[in-house]
Amino acid sequence: MGCPISSLIAELFLQHYEDIYIKQLLDTQNIALYTRYLDILIIHDTTRIQPDAINTHINQIYNNVRLSPTHESHSSINFLDLTITRKQTCPETDIYRKPTTTDININFLSNHRIEHKMAAFRFHFSRMYSLPLDSEKNKGNGK
């Protein structure tokens, strides 16, 4: 099963890694945004630094830490359950659904606790109210 403190050690390492090396990239304004939650999202100005240069720099710090980047295509990138599209004035967000998504929740008549059944609905409502989505884009999708 693994060591029970392995996640704590990994988090401590990543905090140290970010405080020393990523902070340096942020301070020199080579990257505009760095965020980590299951995946890492790095936003940078391509006129200042190329994406491959950031990847090469980060991969040279520790031999065992490697980024495997996914670059934007058609001015958009998928991060967690969002599609972030680069526009002239500001970024636009939309909900990203993987091609394998089923959109199935736990059946209300199943033998699960009510808390488990309601968790998915609470998540969907919370996301609906907290994300500024484009209503015109979602009208045609039936969403």
Quickly list DSSP for 38-105.
SEEEEE--TTTS-HHHHHHHHHHH-TT--------BTTEEEETTEEEE--SSS-EEEE---TT-----
Q: Which residue has the higher pLDDT, 128 or 34?
A: 34
In a domain, 70, yes or no: no
In a domain, 133, yes or no: yes
- pLDDT single digits (tens) 29-76: 778 888 888 788 887 777 777 778 888 888 888 888 888 888 888 888
In a domain, 132, yes or no: yes
Residue 125 sits in which domain range? 76-139
- pLDDT single digits (tens) 78-124: 888 888 888 888 888 888 877 777 677 778 888 888 888 888 788 87
Q: How far apart are the first and last CA of the chain?
A: 41
Cα atoms in the Cβ-side hemisphere of radius 13 Å centred on 103? 5
Tokens of 35: 């965020």
What pLDDT is recorded for position 12? 93
Helices (H), 18-134: 23-27, 51-61, 114-130
82-85 β-sheet, strand order: 76-79, 82-85, 92-95
What pLDDT is recorded for position 67? 80
In a domain, 71, yes or no: no
**Same domain for 121 and 85?**
yes
Instruction: Please tell me whether residue 42 adopts helix, strand or coil conformation.
Output: strand
**Same domain for 48 and 83?**
no
In a domain, 1, yes or no: no
Is-contact 45 56, C-beta < 8 A?
no
**Same domain for 96 and 124?**
yes
63 vs 89: CA distance, rounded Å: 39
Report the domain count for the chain. 2
**Same domain for 51 and 82?**
no
Tokens of 130: 């907290």
Instruction: Please tell me whether residue 82 adopts helix, strand or coil conformation.
Output: strand
